[in-house]
């Protein structure tokens, strides 16, 4: 299978689902219907965030999340550091997915960026630093 496999292919091949059976009226069903028709390189920040929240397609969501936080430690759908929080939640229960080889460059970049980041207020700074600490604690356990 190539890097550019589609969600539709994955859905049909592995889950034996028909797109017409997936489409629903709820916001989550609509998002899922749209998401499974994208290639992994077309996923948005919102898509990856939802995938982590729902803990689906982690084989694609986790590398995508790592790539995003390595590029921008503050990335998040709704607030600074949200992707780090979502990744922390998943890695808490999926110990085998903790990537020390990615954590080290991430924490180095996050530390540098925190020192020069323009915070909205002290509370935002405090919350972001707490998220980074919780994330780091996961890697101290292993």
Residue 18 resides in a domain:
no
List pLDDT tens digits, range 59-74.
999 999 999 999 999 9
Instruction: Answer whether residue 49 is part of any domain.
Output: no
Residues 39, 24: Cα–Cα separation, whole Å: 21
User: In this structure, is residue 96 part of a structural domain?
Assistant: yes
- Give the domain extent around 98: 73-141
Instruction: Tally the domains of the chain.
Output: 1
pLDDT tens, residue by residue, 96-141: 999 999 999 999 999 999 989 999 899 999 999 999 999 999 999 7
The answer as to whether 9 is a domain residue is no
Helix (H) or strand (E) segment spanning residue 91: helix 82-93
Q: Let me know if 115 is exposed, middle or buried by CB neighbors in 10 A (0-12, 13-18, 19+).
A: exposed
Confirm whether 1 is domain-assigned: no
Establish if 98 belongs to a structural domain: yes
């Amino acid at each position: 299978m190539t890097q550019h496999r589609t969600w539709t292919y994955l859905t049909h091949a592995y889950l034996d689902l028909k797109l017409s059976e997936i489409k629903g009226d709820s916001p989550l069903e609509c998002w899922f219907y749209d998401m499974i028709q994208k290639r992994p390189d077309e996923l948005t920040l919102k898509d990856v965030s939802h995938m982590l929240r729902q803990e689906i397609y982690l084989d694609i969501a986790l590398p995508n999340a790592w790539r995003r936080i390595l590029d921008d430690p503050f990335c998040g759908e709704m607030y600074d550091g949200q992707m780090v929080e979502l990744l922390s939640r998943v890695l808490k229960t999926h110990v085998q997915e903790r990537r020390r080889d990615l954590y080290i460059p991430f924490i180095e970049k996050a530390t540098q960026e925190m020192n020069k980041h323009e915070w909205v207020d002290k509370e935002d700074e405090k919350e972001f630093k707490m998220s980074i600490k919780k994330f780091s604690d996961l890697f101290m356990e292993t």
